[in-house]
A and B are shown apart, each in its own frame.
Chain A
Amino acid sequence: MIDLKNKLFALSTADGIGNIADASNLAFDMLSKYCPCEKADSLTVMGFLKGESDYTLMLDAHIDQIGMVVTDVDDNGFLTVKNAGGIDIRSLPSRRVTVHGKEKITAVFCSTPPHLASGEKTYDNITDIKLDTALGKKAKDIVSVGDYVTFANTPRELINYRVCGRSFDDRAAVACLITVAEQLSSKTLPINVAFVLSDGEELGLRGIRTASFKVNPDEAVAVDVSFGDGIGISSEECSPLGSGAMIGFAPTLDSKISKKLVSLCEKKNIPYTSEIMGSKTGTNADMISVNREGVKTGLVSIPLRNMHTDVEIADLKDLQSVCDLICEYVLSGGVKDV
């Protein structure tokens, strides 16, 4: 699990949004050790492991992350930003972020000074909370409208193999798929595996749309994060951290895949919970399943606390469960003969 942690921490601190390709470049280098890879025209990375049949299983995790984009730079060094992906704006004040301008700079969101605070503050629009570069006029030389802004918190270890940091959504899954490639690369596989580390999930499942078209798989499993437990979160809405892989059941998912994933966990003693959704899953699985003439698609998720913050919390034991499950699933041939 130390290896999974090292992969996750490295991937967490490399940024990937819009034209910022650090995460994508790092993932390409990591995945290339285990299988031939190529880059699509966006941040998307694809890797291929050849199997003994023509049947192709696509495994997807998204490489992009939530962030913000600069919409105004004023004369005093304050920026206006708009979110790119869902962000809890209430916790932005006094938060440190990275602005990807001509060079990377650290900036801090303005907070209301104590002597000016009156009553209960409401947070209506992200554009009301200015971002302070503390560079005054010089900010305009470095930052332009359209530049991306990302969280800056560094990953840290908690106790019990739990970890916190930014962009674990969905780098935790990227770390898992790279580990799966590592473990499968020396094995004889019954089917082909296409690894897709896709761009643009946070902006409407965009990257996987074109990647799925290109790969044209027979079957797919998306790996993402989902809601972990916490105070005030109903047990029906989440899975506890440390409870293993979350196996998705939903109208948009292929039930044969869901059931096979469960039976593999039972057979191989891999911890899991079932995640039952009433409609779409909100993940790339929804997009993959309607690719071309339709693709049987499953979803495996990692429980995550504080999703879309820079202190997302995951349990490395759950990442290990996901790796174990996906490896077993590939070695069993997916639902090729089911």
Chain B
Amino acid sequence: MFDILKNLCNLDAASGDETAVREFIINEIKDFCEFKVDNLGNIIAFKKGKSRSSKKLMLDAHMDEVGLIITSITSDGFLKFKTVGGIDVSALMFRSVKINGTINGVICGKPIHLTEGEERKKLPKSDSLYIDIGATSKEDALKHISLGDRAVLCGDFEENDNNVISKALDDRVGCAVLIKLIKEFDEYDFYASFSVQEEVGLRGAKVSAYAINPDSAIVLESTTASDIAGVADADKVCKLGEGVAVSFMDGATVYDRDYYNFALNSGLTCQPKTAVAGGNNSGAIHLSREGVRTIALSLPCRYIHSSSSVANKEDIESMYNLAEYMILSICGGEV
């Protein structure tokens, strides 16, 4: 699974431009399931299992990642941009980016030696930043890129015995787990949505949930782990190494309480997500049509939405194990 995860993370797919990840996933799953690509670019797959449950189950992971979109070019050949999804300025300033998967660039801002007083201690506003691709003029830049092109932060996948560090763990980890389930889990039928445009408002899952029309859903996600120096226990949300995080409520969803309790009492390693913050595709899925009973299993990730998210390998295994357990339990009618 970590080899697949590495390949997935190193692909670029800012929201609305998920082609590279979609093609990779299709190549991985095509021999194990039926699938189609819908009008927005979601992959909707059906995995045939040994048994069919009375409950139609959908699993979701999103393919897109936060990034940038090129909005204009200055006469000097510097690119102005807007963020696609939420990225803090501190994660943008002086970072390498890749545009269209081919052109390298650097996000630049006012150099610190030209700042004075209080300005020296603060980051510039993101609208004052620009991307330098080495172009010498607007015309020169336009030979290499077009307005509307997408860029992502560079942040190659690295791993050691304990952890992985990469850009786009949100949500390539969900994609990796879902690919593995399609390949290896065959007790019950289930549907899978590899969704587009999560980072710009849960848009892909809205239409894939409509199309699948499930009774129940399991969303495989990533969430902020704030178990870092200087943060009080009550603010940590979840902790690396304590298993996948299960949500009772966040900014977008009130989750199915029976599923939540069932997961926490599974005996498998997992932890509650202890903040009512953020949101994920559950927000779109649980309100689809007449409503869908939904659970979110999220990988605790430090420095999410940056070039260097950090997650624990055992937590990723834990996400797979709990997802498998929940499919068995939901399809088996235990919850």
| Interface of A toward B, CB cutoff 8 Å | 74, 76, 78, 88, 90-96, 105-106, 108, 110-117, 120-124, 130, 132, 134-136, 153-154, 156-162, 164, 227, 229-233, 237, 242, 305-307, 309-311, 313, 315
Contact residues in B for A229 (Cβ distance below 8 Å): 76
Shortest Cβ distance from A136 into B: residue: B241
A115-B277 in contact given A95-B308, A132-B229 (Cβ < 8 Å): yes
Kindly state the separation between the CA atoms of A307 and B114 in the bound complex, as whole angstroms: 12
Kindly state the separation between the CA atoms of A304 and B76 in the bound complex, as whole angstroms: 16
Shortest Cβ distance from A309 into B: residue: B94
Chain A: minimal CB distance from B261 (Å): 24
Contact residues in A for B96 (Cβ distance below 8 Å): 153, 156, 164, 311
Kindly state the separation between the CA atoms of A183 and B104 in the bound complex, as whole angstroms: 31
Contact residues in A for B121 (Cβ distance below 8 Å): 90, 122-124
**Contact of B106 with A111 in the complex, beta carbons under 8 Å:** no
Q: Is the interface of B mostly helix, strand, loop or mixed?
A: loop
Contact residues in A for B74 (Cβ distance below 8 Å): 231
Shortest Cβ distance from A158 into B: residue: B134
Kindly state the separation between the CA atoms of A136 and B111 in the bound complex, as whole angstroms: 35
Contact residues in B for A120 (Cβ distance below 8 Å): 122
Contact residues in B for A92 (Cβ distance below 8 Å): 90
**Contact of B308 with A108 in the complex, beta carbons under 8 Å:** yes
Chain B: minimal CB distance from A207 (Å): 23
A311-B106 in contact given A162-B134, A232-B114 (Cβ < 8 Å): yes
Contact residues in A for B230 (Cβ distance below 8 Å): 110, 130
**Contact of A164 with B104 in the complex, beta carbons under 8 Å:** yes
Chain B: minimal CB distance from A74 (Å): 7
What are 25 A-B pairs at a CB distance below 8 A? A88-B93, A90-B122, A94-B307, A106-B160, A110-B229, A111-B88, A114-B305, A115-B235, A115-B237, A116-B231, A123-B121, A123-B123, A132-B310, A134-B310, A158-B104, A159-B144, A160-B135, A229-B76, A230-B78, A230-B111, A233-B114, A305-B108, A306-B108, A311-B96, A313-B134
Chain A: minimal CB distance from B229 (Å): 4
User: Which chain B residues numbered 87 to 105 have a C-beta less than 8 Å away from chain A?
Assistant: 88, 90-91, 93-96, 103-105
Other-chain contact of A115, B122, B163, B229, B278 (Cβ < 8 Å): B278
**Contact of B165 with A115 in the complex, beta carbons under 8 Å:** no
A134-B302 in contact given A110-B228, A231-B74, A232-B110 (Cβ < 8 Å): yes
Say yes or no for B212: interface residue by CB 8 A criterion: no
**Contact of A88 with B108 in the complex, beta carbons under 8 Å:** no
- B217-239 interface bits toward A, Cβ cutoff 8 Å, 1 = contact, 0 = none: 00000001010111100010100
Contact residues in B for A232 (Cβ distance below 8 Å): 110, 114, 128
Chain A: minimal CB distance from B58 (Å): 28
**Contact of B111 with A233 in the complex, beta carbons under 8 Å:** yes
A94-B275 in contact given A130-B230, A233-B111 (Cβ < 8 Å): no
Shortest Cβ distance from B251 into A: residue: A115
Contact residues in A for B158 (Cβ distance below 8 Å): 106
Other-chain contact of B91, A94, A115, A135, A242 (Cβ < 8 Å): A94
Chain B: minimal CB distance from A86 (Å): 8
Shortest Cβ distance from B92 into A: residue: A91
**Contact of B308 with A113 in the complex, beta carbons under 8 Å:** no
Contact residues in A for B174 (Cβ distance below 8 Å): none
**Contact of B277 with A122 in the complex, beta carbons under 8 Å:** no
Kindly state the separation between the CA atoms of A336 and B265 in the bound complex, as whole angstroms: 85
**Contact of A90 with B93 in the complex, beta carbons under 8 Å:** yes
**Contact of B88 with A306 in the complex, beta carbons under 8 Å:** no
**Contact of B160 with A105 in the complex, beta carbons under 8 Å:** yes
A94-B90 in contact given A78-B229, A110-B229, A231-B76 (Cβ < 8 Å): yes
Contact residues in A for B303 (Cβ distance below 8 Å): 93-94, 108, 110-111, 132
User: Which chain B residues numbered 268 to 296 have a C-beta less than 8 Å away from chain A?
Assistant: 275, 277-278
Kindly state the separation between the CA atoms of A24 and B241 in the bound complex, as whole angstroms: 39
Shortest Cβ distance from A154 into B: residue: B156
Shortest Cβ distance from B103 into A: residue: A159
Chain B: minimal CB distance from A121 (Å): 7
Contact residues in A for B112 (Cβ distance below 8 Å): 88, 90
Chain A: minimal CB distance from B152 (Å): 14
- B179-215 interface bits toward A, Cβ cutoff 8 Å, 1 = contact, 0 = none: 0000000000000000000000000000000000000
Chain B: minimal CB distance from A287 (Å): 21
**Contact of A310 with B94 in the complex, beta carbons under 8 Å:** yes
**Contact of B94 with A306 in the complex, beta carbons under 8 Å:** yes
Contact residues in A for B231 (Cβ distance below 8 Å): 113, 116
A130-B228 in contact given A111-B88, A156-B104 (Cβ < 8 Å): yes
